[in-house]
Amino acid sequence: MLSLGNWNLPCFALADKSRNHNFVGRERILNSMDDYLLPQETSLPADMTSIRSFAICGESGMGKTDLAIEYAYSRRHQFGAVFWLHAGSAAELMTDFCQISGYLGLANGYSHPTLESRRKLAKAWLNNPKKSVDWGVNCRWLLIFDNADDLDVIADYIPYGGNGSILITSRNYAARDRFFEDGPGVDLDPLSTGEAATLLQRLVLGVDGRLSRTDQKALMKIASLSGGVPGDITRIAESIRDESLPLREFADLFARDMARLAQARVHAFQH
């Protein structure tokens, strides 16, 4: 049973996740996420229950977590509560999920509540998210399961009631419809060359950095060879900073390295 009182709302609990100001692209996906995660004006009234879900799938380095972070920060005012859950292991998830009761003040009045009792308090509120004990209007919440590659780990933590939205990031492409039939989601593709170049420029020079025309061409050359994977682009930016070479020289060296790598792969395939 929930303790009496008013809950600590609004509540924005993203643990250790800061907004990535170098984030670029993915506008179409962010808008698509709105279609599935944000309550529509014509949908159920605020005091009715409706669960919405979306899964961001993709290989390591594709930017799943950064996309979820950007969504949480840019849409935070659409929800009364936002909770970030590290779902890479059962222990991490249990700890984060139980903290929901602390963030909201659900366990106030309880002496030394156990992890299990805190988990039940959090689950009960998510399934019936009243803004206060004596105020019948439901609070709209967003629950983010990050790095949920083992879907069995999060199975017992998925609310099926309440007025909320569930966002999952996972390398497991079954995350879309494991918990909700025909659940929506996206399989992340690499960034376009233009987006990759913008990200690379921000990582090397900062958001307000400027380039000469020659360096812009060199940066575009590097971006076109990068493959568009955000994780790889981050490592390339680190190499550029460490080498302290002019961008044109680095671009030429990078192109030769990529050509040698491609040749080695062809040789290995043939033999």
Rounded to two decimals, the pTM is 0.85
From residue 142, give the alpha-carbon distance in Å to each of 100, 108, 224. 12, 23, 36
pLDDT digits (tens, 9 = 90+) for 177-236: 888 877 899 999 999 999 999 999 999 887 677 888 888 999 999 999 888 999 999 999
Which stretches within the chain are classed as H helix?
Answer: 27-37, 64-74, 90-104, 115-127, 151-154, 193-205, 213-226, 230-243, 247-270
**Share of residues in the chain with pLDDT > 70 (%):** 85
Amino acid at 1: M
HSE (CB half, 13 Å, CA atoms) of 130? 13
Residue 15 has pLDDT above 50, yes or no: yes
CATH of 11-187 among 3.40.50.300, 3.30.70.20, 3.30.70.250, 1.10.150.450: 3.40.50.300
What pLDDT sits at residue 3?
Answer: 44
Is residue 270 very low, low, confident or very high in pLDDT (cuts 50, 70, 90)?
Answer: very low
pLDDT digits (tens, 9 = 90+) for 68-91: 999 999 999 999 899 999 999 999
79: Cβ–Cβ under 8 A, 6 or more apart, which residues?
A: 10, 140, 141, 142, 165
Residue 7 has pLDDT above 80, yes or no: no
In the chain, domain spans: 11-187, 193-269
- 144, exposed or middle or buried, with CB in 10 Å at 0-12, 13-18, 19+? buried
List the structure tokens of 33. 């996420």
What pLDDT sits at residue 91?
Answer: 95
What pLDDT sits at residue 261?
Answer: 58
What pLDDT sits at residue 263?
Answer: 52
- Contact (CB, 8 A) for 228 and 195: yes
Provide the 3-class DSSP secondary structure of residue 213: helix
